[in-house]
Amino acid sequence: MSLIGRLRTNDDALRKRATAVIPGGMYGHQHTALLPPGFPQFFERADGCRIWDVDGNEYVDLLCSFGPIVAGHRHPKVEEAAAAQLARGDCQNGPSPVMVELAELLVERIAHADWAMFAKNGTDATTMCVTIARAATGRRKVLVARGAYHGAAPWCSPRRDGTTLEDRAHLIKYRYNDLASVEEAADRAGDDLAAVLVSPFRHDAGFDQELPDPGFARGVRQLCDRTGAALILDEVRTGFRLNHGGSWEWLGVEPDLAAWSKALANGYPIAAVTGTDSLREAATRPFVTGSFWFSAVPMAAAVANLDVLRDEDGVARMERAGARLRQGLADQASTYGLSINQTGPVQMPYLSFAADEDHERGSVFSVTALEHGAYLHPGHNWFLCTAHGDEDIDRVLTATDAAFAQVRRQFGDG
Ligand code: PMP
C-alpha cells in the first residue's frame, strides 16, 4: 500500500461529470459536504474487507458500506446463492418460495419474531413499524430519542427542507437512556401514545456512543406494557452484528416490532419488519408494498448470509477483530500522549478525541489513516465484518499509528 499523495484523477473527473447531471453532485450521506475532505467518492471494486477506489487505491474497509457488508464483500456463499436465484428469476409477478424460507428463518432466529414482512430500505422498515403500531392502537403519538436517526422519509428526516410541520406533528422527543424523559414524553402523549421507537444503543453520528442502560430498556418495555403502546426497536444499523438474533435479547427485553435492513443480506437490497403475534392482524391492514419488495435475489442472499454468519460464528469473529482494534488504538493513543474516547460495541466502534468539538483532530486522523490505507470515518461509527482478520487489523493499526502521529504533530498532546 502506497503512502500519501494518493491519486484522485478518475474520482475528480467523475465528480465533475456528476455535478453536471446529479443535483449537488451527490446527495444524502454520500453528499460531498458529509464526506470527510480528501475522501474518494467513487469505488471500483471490493473483496473481503478490502476496497479499491476508482483510482486504484486499496484500503482496508472499516465502514463496510455504512453497515450492509457483514460477512465481507462478495462472500462466496452469499454470491453463489444470489447468482443461483438470479439464474432462475429475480423480479417476477410474485415472490419466489425463498420469501417464505427467509420469513421462517427470521422467526426461528429472532426471539420476539412471530412473523416477518419485507421491503427494501431501512426507512421502509421503520416507517412500516410506525404505521403498524398506529393501525394496531388507533393512536398517533410516537416517542423518538432526540438526535436519533431512523431514516430519510418526511416524518423522520434530519432535514426540514421539503417537509411540513404536520409530517412530524405526532413525534415527541425523549433522551436516550433517560427513563424519566420517556415517562414525561409518554405523559404528554396521554391516551394517544402509539409507540416508543428506540435503537439498541445510542449511535448518533458525531457523538460518543452510549450502550443501553438495562434499567432504561426494561423501563421502556414496562411503559409500553402499561400504556398499550408498541415498543419498536430500530435494528437497521445493529441487526446481525451484535447478536445472531435481536440486539436486546441479552437484556431480556423484547420489542413488539423491529426494523431490519443493512446487514441482513450482506449488501443486497432488502429490509424486514418482524413482529409479535399481538400485532399480526394489525400488520395485515396498512397497504405497504413496492415494485421491488418481492425480488428474490436479495432474499436468497439473506438466507445464505444468515447461515454464513451462524456457521462461521460471525458475531464472535467481529468481536475478536474489534477487540484487537480497540486495544491497538488505545495503546497507540497512549504512546502519543493523546486522549481519546472509544465507545460503542467493539464491532461497531466510534473514536473521538478529547476537546475536539469541531472534529478537527478526528478529520486529520481519518484523512491520514486513509492516505495510509485504512478507510474509517471521523463522524460515523465504523463497522467490522467477519472478513477482518488479525493481519487486516494490524494493517489498519499501521495506518492509525501514522494518523495519531500526525494529530500529535498538528495539535500537540492531550
Ligand atoms: N435506522 C437506522 C438506525 C439507520 O442507521 C438507518 C440508515 N443509516 C436507517 C434507519 C435508514 O435506513 P436506510 O438508509 O436503508 O433507509
- pLDDT (tens digit per residue) in 283-304: 999 999 999 999 999 999 999 9
Q: Is the CB of 239 under 6 A from ligand 1?
A: no
Q: Phi and psi dihedrals of 142, rounded to 5? A: -130, 130
Name the residue of 30, 70, 118, 149 whose CB sits within 8 Å of the most ligand 1 atoms, as the mutation to test its pocket: 149
Q: Could you list the beta-strand ranges (E) of 63-186.
A: 115-119, 141-145, 171-174
Count the neighbouring beta carbons within 10 Å of the beta carbon of residue 180. Answer: 11
Percent of the chain with pLDDT over 90: 95
Task: HSE, CB side, 13 Å, CA atoms: give it for residue 108.
Answer: 10
Note whether 176 and 167 are within 8 A (CB): no
Q: In order of start, what are the domains of the chain with their CATH numbers?
A: 9-71+313-411 (3.90.1150.10), 77-311 (3.40.640.10)
Closest Cα to atom 5 of ligand 1:
237
Q: Phi and psi dihedrals of 186, rounded to 5? A: -65, -40
- pLDDT (tens digit per residue) in 156-182: 999 999 999 999 999 999 999 999 999
Q: For residue 18, how far is its CA from the centre of ligand 1 (angstroms)? A: 24
The mean pLDDT value of the chain amounts to 97
Element (H, E) at 260: strand 257-260
Q: Is the CB of 126 under 6 A from ligand 1?
A: yes
The total number of residues written for the chain in this structure: 414
The C-alpha angle 21, 91, 272, rounded to 5 degrees, equals 90
- pLDDT (tens digit per residue) in 351-401: 999 999 889 999 999 999 999 999 999 999 999 999 999 999 999 999 999
Note whether 241 and 318 are within 8 A (CB): yes
- pLDDT (tens digit per residue) in 54-63: 999 999 999 9
DSSP annotation of 249: G
| Nearest alpha-carbon partner for 99 in 113, 85, 118, 82 | 118
Angle separating helix axes 76-88 and 296-311, nearest 10 degrees: 150
Q: Which residues make beta-bridge pairs with 51?
A: 46, 59
Name the residue of 31, 65, 126, 201 whose CB sits within 8 Å of the most ligand 1 atoms, as the mutation to test its pocket: 126
| Nearest alpha-carbon partner for 329 in 346, 315, 317, 312 | 346
Q: Which pLDDT score is estimated for 2?
A: 47
Note whether 350 and 382 are within 8 A (CB): yes
Closest Cα to atom 1 of ligand 1:
150
| pLDDT higher than 60, residue 4 | no
Query: Is the whole model's pTM more than 0.85, yes or no?
Result: yes
